[in-house]
Amino acid sequence: MHALVIHDAKDLRIEQRDVAEPAAGEVRIRLATGGICGSDLHYFNHGGFGTVRLKEPMILGHEVAGHVAALGEGVSDLAVGDLVAVSPSRPCGACRYCAEGLPNHCENMRFYGSAMPFPHIQGAFRQELIANAAQCAPAGDLTAGEAAMAEPLSVVLHACKRAGDLFGKRVLVTGCGPIGTLAIVAARAAGAAEIVATDLSPNALDYAKKVGADRVIDSKAEPDALSEYAAGKGTFDVLFECSGAAPALASGIAAMRPRGVVMQLGLGGDMQVPVQALTAKELDLRGSFRFHEEFFTAVQQMRSGRIDVKPLISHTMPMADALEAFALANDRSRAMKVQMDFS
């Protein structure tokens, strides 16, 4: 089979890999679709992010869906031919955080396409993938492209859980890439009364408006537009900061009302935080990292029609054109979510 392997920054290759047979409790999946994530772009553009660097060739990818091709012994709840979304979250189940019910903080996490440990955890951008049956969420009538969106949607659903009740709340989203736009989708589904979104890209803001933002603000063209929301100690109950940019966090905090919740999702490196404003407004600053049980909820929400991710899938390209796909995913003026067809 073919796999998409990153060797160093800008050194992405399609290589041959062996195909294995599923062991007991496993399935072999014929991959259909894989979405290019921000972390994939970090490996492609820079060979890693922060202190995490590539030390050996690694198969990329963790946003995937495909069809069951073979069943291992004991697998009875899936059938050959089923379309499944595959969760990349594989906690060990034995460390102290797994025991405390915090599997997303597993000390021995095997998350597809991660250079955090060494040897690296190989990813899922390959034509055939062996997965535990417990990782596979039946996708029903969803398209493979929709099913592959379960992973980024899970990230946002975990953040919404951390944020608390959103019903009737006024929500600000800073940064309208795939995670920011999905935050808009999830907040709207959770009953948010008003959603305002900011970004520097008109294309991203068009998508934000399309999926439910009540107002979008071009922070480059209107750098002071959020100031109106800062009057009277602020307006917003919840901030989803999805850009990883310190100026976005600072302007968002200025627009928050007292005792609001700031959810930090953007991973842009260390950021300066206006701590005095946090203190004076009694704001809660909360991090949100990955997900686990939310994956099956994400698939269920899409299958029920409660959440529609189709408008965010901007491009689908064949695996053979992977370099062009990554270049397109890097271009925020043209793309939102770029997926690859592995079939």
Half-sphere exposure of 151 (CA within 13 A, CB side): 29
Same domain? 22 vs 143: yes
Same domain? 82 vs 208: no
Q: Give the pLDDT confidence score for residue 141 in this predicted structure.
A: 97
Domain that holds residue 230: 154-287
Q: How confident is the model at residue 130 (pLDDT cuts 50, 70, 90)?
A: very high
Same domain? 43 vs 135: yes
> Which tokens belong to 224?
């002071």
Q: Give the pLDDT confidence score for residue 133 in this predicted structure.
A: 98
List, for residues 42-90, the tens digit of each pLDDT value: 999 999 988 899 999 999 999 999 999 999 999 999 999 999 999 999 9
Q: Give the pLDDT confidence score for residue 263 in this predicted structure.
A: 98
Please determine, for residue 268, whether its predicted confidence score (pLDDT) is greater than 80: no
Q: Give the pLDDT confidence score for residue 271 in this predicted structure.
A: 85
Between CA 214 and CA 208 the distance in angstroms is 9
Q: Is residue 263 part of a domain?
A: yes
Same domain? 6 vs 144: yes
Please determine, for residue 144, whether its predicted confidence score (pLDDT) is greater than 80: yes
Same domain? 283 vs 313: no
Half-sphere exposure of 81 (CA within 13 A, CB side): 1
Q: Is residue 302 part of a domain?
A: no
Where b means 16+ CB within 10 Å and e means fewer, 109-141 reads bebbbbbeeeebbbbbbbbbbbbbbebbbbbee
Picking from 255, 285, 277, the residue whose alpha carbon sits closest to that of residue 162 is 285
**146 phi and psi angles, rounded to 5 deg:** -65, -45
The CATH number linked to 37 is 3.90.180.10
Go through the chain and tell me how many residues it has.
343
Q: What is the DSSP annotation of 155-207?
A: HHHHHHHHH---TT-EEEEE--SHHHHHHHHHHHHTT-SEEEEEES-HHHHHH
Selected residue with higher pLDDT from 268 and 11: 11
For tokens 């920054």, name the residue.
9
Between CA 218 and CA 234 the distance in angstroms is 20
Q: Give the pLDDT confidence score for residue 267 in this predicted structure.
A: 82
Query: What residues contact 244, with CB distance under 8 A and at least 6 apart?
Result: 175, 266, 267, 268, 269, 271
Same domain? 14 vs 129: yes
- Give the global pTM: 0.95
The CATH number linked to 177 is 3.40.50.720
Mean pLDDT for all residues in the chain: 96
Average pLDDT, integer, range 211-233 = 96
Picking from 341, 20, 317, 294, the residue whose alpha carbon sits closest to that of residue 161 is 294
The two beta strands, 83-86 and 136-138, are antiparallel
Q: How confident is the model at residue 269 (pLDDT cuts 50, 70, 90)?
A: confident
Q: Is residue 21 part of a domain?
A: yes
Q: Give the pLDDT confidence score for residue 299 in this predicted structure.
A: 98
**Helices and strands in the chain, H and E counts:** 10, 18
Question: For the chain, what percent of residues have pLDDT higher than 70?
Answer: 100
Same domain? 73 vs 145: yes
**107 phi and psi angles, rounded to 5 deg:** -75, -15
Q: 131 in the Ramachandran plot: left (φ > 0), alpha (ψ -120 to 50) or beta?
A: beta
List, for residues 147-190, the tens digit of each pLDDT value: 999 999 999 999 999 999 999 999 999 999 999 999 999 999 99
Q: How confident is the model at residue 228 (pLDDT cuts 50, 70, 90)?
A: very high
Same domain? 248 vs 184: yes
Same domain? 112 vs 58: yes
Q: Give the pLDDT confidence score for residue 291 in this predicted structure.
A: 95
Q: Which CA distances in Å does 138 have to 87, 169, 280, 312?
A: 11, 33, 47, 21
| E-only strand ranges, the chain | 2-8, 11-16, 26-35, 48-49, 52-53, 58-59, 63-71, 83-86, 128-132, 136-138, 170-174, 194-199, 215-218, 236-241, 256-264, 284-287, 313-318, 337-341
- Tally of domains in the chain: 2
For tokens 């772009």, name the residue.
41
Average pLDDT, integer, range 187-211 = 98
